[in-house]
Structure 1
Amino acid sequence: MSVRIGINPLTWTNDDLPTLGAETSLETCLTEGKQAGFSGFELGQKFPRTPEVLGPILKAHGLDLVSGWFSGELLTRSVEEEIEAIKPHLHLLKSLGAKAMVYCEVTGCIHGQIETPLSHRPIISEEKIAEMSKKLTQVADYCLSEGVQIAYHHHMGTVIESQHEVDLLMKHTGPSVGLLLDTGHMTFAGGNPLEVQAKHADRIIHVHCKDLRPEILKDAKNRDISFLNAMLNGVFTVPGDGFIDYSSLFKQLKASNYSGWLVVEAEQDPAVAHPLTYATMGANNLKALCAESGIDIVQ
């Protein structure tokens, strides 16, 4: 088995709070990401969205396109409407060689609302999850027929946040729907990423690696603050700089023969957490964890 290591541009510029890193250019993101030791990037707000423009930019930096976020709305859209909405994004990913699409149902989501406590996030019944899952499977079947697999991103502030909700989503979706394991979001939600990996190893096709600072997490939960305010307070950091048991997780990934991207996605305020410093730390820690677990990294 082998993996590749990539990074999300949230380290430099934030999509949910665009004022963070607003002055940082795409050139800086890509140059520093490559310098830190990564071989690919996920999409962000400053990336061109046509393969004819983005492809040469990435190639000039010796980088590949890892994946990119799509905001799903299957709770309010039909399968046909969702497929039409997803086609341009799918075309970009497919054209530039990305094999996974980061997908999240965002109907009613509150993670981008800085004044809304996380306790106000939308919660839906298992029946609704099952209905959404049936439609999601049809959309995923279409994407997979085009060579790109949906990797569902459980996310704070959305309808699929908790470990139980992930279990329900996996129960009601077909195998064309892959799972994105986000260690930071699962831990923030009160779940256990080791248990999720063990239970759904055959569905995990993408991994987001972020860590958590325990005292800031405890404060965020005690005061029931918003997702963005928790981020601004520094709840997230790169893997190996918090309390998540990455050593055990990587051993499990090795045992399950995971083969895909390991992506540092650790949003922080770039004015506080120097992007190149933390990107380099994240890359070095991923490399050390892979070496310890016997996971081969390819460029």
Structure 2
Amino acid sequence: MFDPKTVSLGIAPIGWCNDDMPELGAENTFQQTVSEMALAGFTGCEIGNKYPTDPAELKKALDLRGMRIASRWYSSFILTRSMEEEEKDFIANLDFLEAVGANHINVSEQSYSIQGKVDVPILTGGHKHVMNDEEWDRFCKGLNRLGQIASEHGFKLCFHHHMGTVVQTSEETDRMMSNTDPRYVFLCYDTGHFTFAGEDPLAMLKKYVDRVGHVHLKDMRLPVVEEARKNNWSFLQSVRNGAFTVPGDGNVDFDPVFKVLSDAGYQGWLLVEAEQDPAKANPLEYAIKGRTYIREHTGL
């Protein structure tokens, strides 16, 4: 289905140690994390909070295991800080990624985000910030500027729609995509976040497959999502209670997703990203489970 010369398979470290809740998996070291990723059969990863901050040290450790950096999360604050400060921070992240051989960066607008607030419901109560027209204009212009800088550095900026942020819903994703330059702004398509938001991930993929620059394969346990809605859980409470899992272990139908990507000639990374509590979901066990499912369903 996919050509292994043009499509690579990676996994995020968030199953071993959580960036938003570092106490989840605090016992798991960087060396253990990347070794288990390689043992499970992955060749790439994103960057987590345990990773070395020296790019040479990081690259050496990954090279030893036949691993590469696929991309990294970047928190933008286009709405709440100056573009001068934003550009400086963004370029520093690009420089780090370039030093470890990556050429993609995943941007999430974190101004007014509630994803990291432990006691704020994610699905009920209308707590999520909704941008007005002026904010939308500032946001899209800023995103275009960052995308242009990324392009000048040989990178793709891939925007990550995310629960609790200003771009969560299909409507918000549509507005962001229609008001940004397709030369500079791509989509970090995430099956789990569209599903969690109550959207149709397949419909969104079909609409934007030609602008997908990076793919997060995240499965959802929908009964847990319903519990989150019923009990007014926050995003982090939902994670702790097992809303997310690896492909093949939840309720997302990945076969049509793989087909749409394959038919469109997608090239780049398929990245398993399933934030779970490592004490409840052994990271290596679930990494192998996700890797096996992808092999069986794509041939990769």
Q: Taking structure 2 as the reference length, what is the TM-score of the superposition?
A: 0.94
- For residues 195-240 of structure 1, what are the alpha-carbon distances to aligned partners after superposition, in whole Å with 9 as ceiling and x for unaligned? 1111111110100011111211111122221001011111111011
Name the CA distance, whole Å, in 1 between partners of 2:133 and 2:278.
39
Name the CA distance, whole Å, in 1 between partners of 2:161 and 2:61.
30
- For residues 108-164 of structure 1, what are the alpha-carbon distances to aligned partners after superposition, in whole Å with 9 as ceiling and x for unaligned? 111111111114121113542232111110111011100111110000011000111
The corresponding residue for 2:202 is 194
Name the CA distance, whole Å, in 1 between partners of 2:97 and 2:298.
26
Given that residues 118 and 236 in structure 2 are in contact (C-alpha distance below 8 angstroms), is that contact kept between their aligned partners in structure 1? yes
Name the CA distance, whole Å, in 2 between partners of 1:41 and 1:233.
24
**Are residue 167 (structure 1) and residue 174 (structure 2) matched?**
yes
**Are residue 274 (structure 1) and residue 277 (structure 2) matched?**
no
* Unaligned runs of at least 5 residues, structure 2: none
- For residues 73-127 of structure 1, what are the alpha-carbon distances to aligned partners after superposition, in whole Å with 9 as ceiling and x for unaligned? 0002233221101122111111222121011000111111111111412111354
Query: How many aligned residue pairs are there?
Result: 292
Please state how far the C-alpha of 1:288 moved relative to its aligned partner: 1.8
The corresponding residue for 1:105 is 109
The corresponding residue for 1:211 is 219
Question: Percent of aligned positions with the same letter in both sequences?
Answer: 40
The corresponding residue for 1:236 is 244
The code of the aligned residue for 1:62 comes to: G
Name the CA distance, whole Å, in 2 between partners of 1:48 and 1:151.
23
Given that residues 102 and 150 in structure 1 are in contact (C-alpha distance below 8 angstroms), is that contact kept between their aligned partners in structure 2? yes
Given that residues 79 and 139 in structure 1 are in contact (C-alpha distance below 8 angstroms), is that contact kept between their aligned partners in structure 2? no
RMSD: 1.2
Name the CA distance, whole Å, in 2 between partners of 1:225 and 1:152.
25
The corresponding residue for 1:122 is 129
Name the CA distance, whole Å, in 1 between partners of 2:150 and 2:72.
14
Name the CA distance, whole Å, in 2 between partners of 1:114 and 1:248.
34
- For residues 9-38 of structure 1, what are the alpha-carbon distances to aligned partners after superposition, in whole Å with 9 as ceiling and x for unaligned? 011100000000101100110111000010
The corresponding residue for 1:11 is 15
* Unaligned runs of at least 5 residues, structure 1: 292-296
**Are residue 47 (structure 1) and residue 46 (structure 2) matched?**
no
Given that residues 78 and 138 in structure 2 are in contact (C-alpha distance below 8 angstroms), is that contact kept between their aligned partners in structure 1? no
Given that residues 56 and 100 in structure 2 are in contact (C-alpha distance below 8 angstroms), is that contact kept between their aligned partners in structure 1? no
Name the CA distance, whole Å, in 1 between partners of 2:157 and 2:142.
13
**Are residue 225 (structure 1) and residue 233 (structure 2) matched?**
yes
**Are residue 60 (structure 1) and residue 64 (structure 2) matched?**
yes
Runs of 4+ aligned residues of structure 1 deviating over 4 Å after TM superposition are none
Equivalent of 1:139, from 146, 156, 181? Answer: 146
Please state how far the C-alpha of 1:56 moved relative to its aligned partner: 0.8
Please state how far the C-alpha of 1:61 moved relative to its aligned partner: 1.5
The corresponding residue for 2:41 is 37
The corresponding residue for 1:287 is 295
The corresponding residue for 1:86 is 90
- Partner SS, residue 210 of structure 2: coil
- Partner SS, residue 220 of structure 1: helix
The corresponding residue for 1:25 is 29
Name the CA distance, whole Å, in 2 between partners of 1:127 and 1:82.
18
Structure 1 pair 287/125, CA: closer, same or farther in 2 (3 Å)? farther
The code of the aligned residue for 1:80 comes to: E
